[in-house]
């Protein structure tokens, strides 16, 4: 199980889309064992759909193959890519939770505009 986890992490860090797809398929038995029904059900659907992008949406597939499925924290070095949801959590959501974040920013009086 650890080798599968490391493979998933490595695929994201190195922005290797093919390894990502292979690693996701390897996680399915562990999703089943852990009772994660939705992950177990939809991971085998996700992978073939992503592979079909090559034929149906070649530009999107090329974008993914070039690392478009992760966020690079720095363009100067390799191995620093992270999944998009993790990048969101580390940037925008952190700012929103900090003091003076987005609290009350939606309470502006609409009649002023």
pLDDT greater than 60 at residue 61: yes
Number of domains in the chain: 1
Report yes or no on 18 lying in a domain.
yes
- 3-state SS, residue 81: strand
Q: Give the closest residue to 44 by CA, choosing from 21, 15, 65, 11.
A: 21
Report yes or no on 43 lying in a domain.
yes
Report yes or no on 108 lying in a domain.
no
Q: Which domain holds residue 97?
A: 2-103
State both tokens at 85.
Answer: 């949801």
Report yes or no on 66 lying in a domain.
yes
Check residues 29 and 75 and name the one with the higher pLDDT.
29
Report yes or no on 48 lying in a domain.
yes
Q: What is the mean pLDDT of the chain?
A: 84
Residue range 13-19: mean pLDDT, rounded? 92
- H or E stretch including 112? none
Q: How many residues are recorded in the chain?
A: 113
Report yes or no on 76 lying in a domain.
yes
Report yes or no on 110 lying in a domain.
no
């Amino acid at each position: 199980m650890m080798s599968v986890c490391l493979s998933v992490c490595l695929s994201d860090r190195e922005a290797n889309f093919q390894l990502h797809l292979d690693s996701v398929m390897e996680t399915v038995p562990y999703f089943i064992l852990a009772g994660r029904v939705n992950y177990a059900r939809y991971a085998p659907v996700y992978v073939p759909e992503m592979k079909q992008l090559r034929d149906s949406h070649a530009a999107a597939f090329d974008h993914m193959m070039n690392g478009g499925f992760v966020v690079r924290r720095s363009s100067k070095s390799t191995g620093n890519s992270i999944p998009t949801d993790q990048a969101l959590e580390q940037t925008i959501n952190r700012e929103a939770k900090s003091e003076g974040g987005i609290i009350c920013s939606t309470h502006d009086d609409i009649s002023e505009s």
